[in-house]
A and B are shown apart, each in its own frame.
Chain A
């Protein structure tokens, strides 16, 4: 039987890769995809722990995460479209208006 640790390691790796992408990539769309990646890593952790404890709650949590991810993707992509319309770019370097 595969120890849970390996699943967790995989999740950690996925999470860090997602984080790397979020922090380094300039294309807003790719950034979003990386966020999805991170969310999936979290899901994997949930499920791994659920398996470890034999508890169904992890599954429920994963289900909620998926739902929230869907919502987030919808809103996020809408924003990207709106920004693209007004600025003509999806490069985060060009979108630095979050200041006074």
Chain B
């Protein structure tokens, strides 16, 4: 047992924080050193993250590299980390984006440089922490903590309307997550007697499982069969939908699903390039990840009832987001709305509850992080040169910036899911999963419309910005990408190709999580083949026993009440 056997995840999560401390000690005028240290930190973190990703054994236990120590035991909390396939993949994406974000911002950010890098490092820690948390409350803490550095990134280093966008972003997500907190506490209290219950994901899920199965049996049974439920199942019957709704709303805002998506375009438009990249790359996935990990498995019956509704929202999101893109004049807004459309695919794949759909959804999360992240990155380069986001201010850029154009067009193809790029695999699997699922065929057909619209708007934008003659004199002397910018872009392009041509290593790690997710989500589905309990139950490491902590004294004899 080496140090890394038990602490690898801790290292990955807190390394950025350690470097944040280093940065904090530097004088704020040493811009070069601040950048260098942040970059080195992110790179190191990338190395450890990749290590963790490869240590993840697809055929092994569901959660690996677990680490658990007692923490606020009185409240049923523990400090518990662990990775499953999906979390490992998203973790990889997060650490991958880290150094690139730093590189992308070296000239973009010109004031409060030290603070900016501090925010980046802290943000990195919170995102990684949220992904690896195995304790619901711990997840919530990271999930909320994420908001603060992001709020700063948008609010301090954003464009002209940054205050409005930052506040909108903050309040929107806060509304959802506060409701989620209520639901977390509620589900904790109903999940068992004092002493048995716990905020730990495994315990929580296992405690609810039997009740969920009972509830599913009666829900799919004859009318009124649920009236005779008792105990936890009855509670879940009454309050389950509300708790699910609270979770779902919180995550739906984060995703964002239609119609709670309007914070996204504003936040993206105003955010600096780093903010946009992280927002699109990782933060939106917290929503889908939350659905995958918490909302749906914990309340399969309520999720089943809400599935058609949510699926309709997802399809609306796909088509609506794509149509929105056609109406935009602002490039960043267009990319933001395309995120709405892409995330619609992720949600649809999740809601299909088939292994193809869920795998595709997970893969689509990665793809979106890469392709949309890269789009924001590239547009950031353009914005640095021209400081305008309007399509009409560009045109004919391909003539003066050929390398840039090539990179942008490749990423565009990835974004519109041309086969051979990563986007295709995700989209194909999601759509196939949707067709295979119990959702009506119309869902799949409408979602496939996004394929056409996606090409229409992305190519329209490429056309407007890059092709045609140069219509503005300012654009005549734009300089092409420099070495730093090429180095920042290259990993994205390599990944687009690698993930498109050799997706199997990635899919392999997602597959076990998918199987479990589908089994857990189909607990509530009528007619679905039900997995055995031992497949459903979450196996996690138990809390290591510790020395008896000081317990608060209790009164020896209570006040006697006179009868």
Contacts and interface: CB of A to CB of B under 8 A. Distances in A.
Interface of A: 53, 55, 57
Contacts of A57: 553
A53 to B, nearest CB: 6
Contacts of A55: 556
A55 B553 CA distance: 12
B494 interface: no
Contacts of B556: 53, 55
B170 to A, nearest CB: 22
A18 B557 CA distance: 30
Interface string B519-563: 000000000000000000000000000000000010111000000
A57 B552 CA distance: 12
| Binding site secondary structure of chain A | helix
Interface of B: 553, 555-557
Majority SS of interface residues in chain B? loop
Contacts of A53: 555-557
Contacts of B555: 53
A89 to B, nearest CB: 41
A55 B554 CA distance: 12
Nearest to A55: B556
Contacts of B557: 53
A57 B555 CA distance: 11
A60 to B, nearest CB: 12
Contacts, number: 5
B288 to A, nearest CB: 42
List of 5 A-B pairs having minimum Cβ-Cβ separation, nearest first: A53-B556, A53-B555, A53-B557, A55-B556, A57-B553
5 contacts: A53-B555, A53-B556, A53-B557, A55-B556, A57-B553
B555 to A, nearest CB: 7
B355 to A, nearest CB: 58
Contacts of B553: 57
A53 B555 CA distance: 9
A53 B560 CA distance: 12
A55 B557 CA distance: 12
B200 to A, nearest CB: 34
A57 B557 CA distance: 15
A63 B142 CA distance: 41
A57 B556 CA distance: 12
A55 B556 CA distance: 10
A3 B556 CA distance: 19
A55 B555 CA distance: 10
Nearest to A57: B553
A22 to B, nearest CB: 27
A53 B557 CA distance: 8
A85 B556 CA distance: 52
Nearest to B553: A57
B460 to A, nearest CB: 51
A68 B435 CA distance: 70
Nearest to B555: A53
Nearest to A54: B556
B136 to A, nearest CB: 36
A69 B553 CA distance: 25
A53 B553 CA distance: 13
Nearest to B556: A53
A96 B434 CA distance: 65
B400 to A, nearest CB: 55
A69 B556 CA distance: 29
A53 B558 CA distance: 10
A57 B553 CA distance: 10
A57 B554 CA distance: 12
B459 to A, nearest CB: 54
A65 B548 CA distance: 30
A46 to B, nearest CB: 13
B558 to A, nearest CB: 11
A93 to B, nearest CB: 39
B556 to A, nearest CB: 6
A53 B556 CA distance: 8
A84 to B, nearest CB: 42
B562 to A, nearest CB: 10
B154 to A, nearest CB: 28
B540 to A, nearest CB: 39
A7 to B, nearest CB: 14
